[in-house]
Amino acid sequence: EVQLVESGGGLIQPGGSLRLSCAASGFTVSSNYMSWVRQAPGKGLEWVSVIYSGGSTYYADSVKGRFTISRDNSKNTLYLQMNSLRAEDTAVYYCARETSMDVWGQGTTVTVSS
Amino acid sequence: DIQMTQSPSSLSASVGDRVTITCQASQDISNYLNWYQQKPGKAPKLLIYDASNLETGVPSRFSGSGSGTDFTFTISSLQPEDIATYYCQQYDNLPHTFGGGTKVEIK
C-alpha cells in the first residue's frame, strides 16, 4: 500500500528547532518529487517546500533560510528541519507526493508558543 | 508568485444541486492545475489533476475544466458526503500556490 506517515511535531518555544519526518511505504521517495504543505489553524493550505528526484530544493519565501528539506534514501524518508521557529509557523504539516499530490500523510501538528 | 483566486469562499446548496467553483490564476498556467477536497481534521485528497483529469477512484460527479488562467470545478449532483472545503492549486511555477478554498455546505 502506498502510504506516507509524518511524525516529529510538538510544542516548541519561539526560536527553537524541530525536525519533521515523513516515512514512505509502497514507493521510493528518491524517485519522486516530494513536498511539504502546511495549514495554520482555521486557515487554508500553504505550500512550504519541495525536493525534486534529482535533489534540487525550493522553499516558500516565508521559510527560506530557516527550513531545510532533505531525504534519507536508505530509510525512504523525507524530512523537514525547522529552525528559528516563529508563532506563525504553528500549523499542521503534511508531506505529499509528486506535483499532483496524489498521496498525503495524515499530518503532524507543530505549535510554536512560549 | 502566481496568485490563485478561488470563488466563492463558501456556498450552501441542496442535495442534488449542481455546484460550481471557479479558480483564476494571475498568469497563464496552461493546464497545470489540481483540485483537492479536504474534510475537517483530514488531509486533502486529490480529485482532479491537470485541470480536467479525474483521479482514480473519484466519483464521476466531480469534474474540472479550463486552461490558461480560468478554471472551473463542478459537482454535478451534490451529495451529503461532499461536504468539505475544496482547493485549487497551480504547479506551473514555484511556489505551487493554492487558492483560498471554498467551503461547501448543505442547505
The DSSP bridge partners found for residue A51 are: A34, A57
- pLDDT tens digits for chain A (114 residues)? 999 999 999 999 999 999 999 999 999 999 999 999 999 999 999 999 999 999 999 999 999 999 999 999 999 999 999 999 999 999 999 999 988 889 999 999 999 999
Compare CB distances from A100 to B43, B49, B87 and report the shortest one's residue.
B49
- Residues 6 or more apart whose Cβ sits within 8 Å of residue A74: none
Mean pLDDT, residues B67-95: 97
Percent of all residues in chain B with a pLDDT value above 70, rounded to a whole number: 100
CA gap A111, B18 in Å, rounded: 39
The verdict on a CB contact (< 8 Å) between A102 and B49 is yes
> Counting Cβ atoms within 10 Å, is residue A83 exposed (0-12), middle (13-18) or buried (19+)?
middle
Residue A99: predicted pLDDT: 83
Residue A101, classed as helix, strand or coil, is coil
Interface membership of B13 toward A (CB under 8 Å): no
* Chain B CB contacts of A50 below 8 Å: 94, 96
Per-residue confidence band for B23, with pLDDT thresholds at 50, 70 and 90? very high
The verdict on a CB contact (< 8 Å) between B95 and A58 is yes
Q: Is the pLDDT of residue B106 over 90?
A: yes
Distance in Å, alpha carbon of A36 to nearest chain B alpha carbon: 11
Residue A98: predicted pLDDT: 87
- Residues 6 or more apart whose Cβ sits within 8 Å of residue A70: A51, A57, A78, A79, A81
Residue B94: predicted pLDDT: 95
The verdict on a CB contact (< 8 Å) between A99 and B99 is no
Residue A89's φ and ψ, nearest 5 degrees, are -85, -5
Residue A89, classed as helix, strand or coil, is helix
Q: Which of B29, B94, B102 is the best mutation test for A, with the most CBs of A within 10 A?
A: B94
Residue A31's φ and ψ, nearest 5 degrees, are -95, 0
The verdict on a CB contact (< 8 Å) between B43 and A104 is yes
The verdict on a CB contact (< 8 Å) between A44 and B34 is no
The verdict on a CB contact (< 8 Å) between A44 and B98 is yes
Chain A stretch 9-38, residues whose beta carbon is closer than 8 A to a beta carbon of chain B = 35, 37
Residue A86: predicted pLDDT: 98
